[in-house]
Structure 1
Amino acid sequence: MKDSEDRQLRGGTRWRRFAVLAVPAAAVAGGIVFGMANGAIAANITVSGKAFKVGATRLEGDGFKQYGGVVYEKGNPVPRPVAISEIGHADLYNLCQSVNASVPGLPVVLRIEAGGGRQPATADGMLIAMDSLAGDATFTKIKIGQDATDLSAAAQEGSFGQSSEHVTITGLEQVARYTTAGTFKLTGLKLKVHAFGDAAGKECFS
């Protein structure tokens, strides 16, 4: 009897630890929606320290801007450098977002899918702070080497920036730290928690 109770206690502890991670992780995976006054990351926003993955078969974006920036993790005064992309309006086809929310002894991946039919997922006033971006990109009327402060008041004077009227990215694979949008419409939303053996291979890309 005592062994059974101990197993239940340990199992309950693991699930409680997962729940603590899963709530913020689910919010991140869903693309935290905040209205931002000037499109820049607010100074009082801190990130979770967990990166999340975003994939799409195609992204169509109007009003693209990109420049360097930093984010801060809760309790860590050391800034993390990131690339910041702003998109005025984005259509994302076959959108996938995933976050690895595993704890010791409990593999867990939270995965969201949207925009898989004829109607893509859409975002207006979108901002992404990312570690990396991969895919095939085509830019329309691109300007490379702008002073970043001409693109965002929050950027550092003299830092590198670029912009484009339109961008198309196919095979999008992005590792991000933070996402905001004025509106984020997830058409055909599907969210699932994959745990234990079912978690293997469930991130959007390896």
Structure 2
Amino acid sequence: MLHRAGRTSWKRFAAVLVPSVMAAAALGIGMAQGALAASFFISGQKFQVALDTLDVRGLSIYGTVDVTRKGALVPVFVTGARRAEITGLCQSVVVPIPVLGPYTLKITGGERRPVEAKNLFLDATSLSSGQANFDDLDIGVAAGAVSKGPISREDRNSRFFDPNGFAQQADSAFLSDVRFTTVAVSAATFNVPGLDVRLKQGSHECF
């Protein structure tokens, strides 16, 4: 009976975890190859994105609402970058596994050479930075009038996008010790030198 129970646990483990790991690995590979699609329903699960530095050319920050596959609404603020260079990328999500408990899926890269991204969007619920410097910053611009940074095409066409809503923009920005809590990340291209995807038992998040 003990042997059978052990086998059943691993079957449950595989059924729950393997699809998540395969999807995350595909996400990382897609990012590394610059082939990540930008339009999708979110899962609704929050994950962490930590960056040593974020160097942006063409910054936008605006609010919208993301939608899960089940139709739940998740208010977010979107940080957009026409071009971005990132050092010290870390992305983590904790996956609860029945019987075995939590496992952490962690993606890292950009240690020796910067990550490069175009039309990058981070749909976040929180953001902090040890230091943030902005050039030619506009606070309070209407979202529909943002011109210095990008607005996601999917967001602009969404019923939740208010062109008269509050937004910010800047010609450029440099942030260090950056911490995002996000529900989605998308980019036209996302090239990750030194991509590393690891799965580890327990909670081992980026921050």
Length-normalised TM-score, structure 1: 0.84
Equivalent of residue 138 in structure 1, options 133, 142, 145? 133
Residue identity (%): 24
SS in 2 for 1:182: strand
Structure 1: which 5+ residue stretches go unaligned? 36-41
Alignment partner of 1:115 is 2:117? no
How far apart in 2 are the matches of 1:147 and 1:165? 16
- Per-residue deviation, residues 161-203 of structure 1 (Å, max 9, x unmatched): 11001111111000111111111010111111112xxx33x21
Alignment partner of 1:95 is 2:98? no
Q: Is the 8 A contact 1:29 1:110 kept in 2?
A: no
Instruction: Give, as a single letter, the amino acid of the residue that structure 1 aligns with 2:122.
Output: I
- Per-residue deviation, residues 15-59 of structure 1 (Å, max 9, x unmatched): 321223333444566768225xxxxxx5xx310121111111111
Partner of 2:99 in structure 1? 105
The 5 Å alignment of 1:61-72 reads 61-72=56-67
Partner of 2:187 in structure 1? 181
SS in 1 for 2:14: helix
Q: 1:68 to 1:168 in 2, by over 3 A?
A: same
Instruction: Give, as a single letter, the amino acid of the residue that structure 1 aligns with 2:57.
Output: D
SS in 1 for 2:6: helix
Q: Is the 8 A contact 1:137 1:170 kept in 2?
A: yes
- Greater strand content: 2
How far apart in 2 are the matches of 1:75 and 1:22? 21
Length, aligned pairs only: 190
- Give RMSD over aligned pairs: 1.9
Length-normalised TM-score, structure 2: 0.84
Partner of 1:38 in structure 2? none
Structure 2: which 5+ residue stretches go unaligned? none
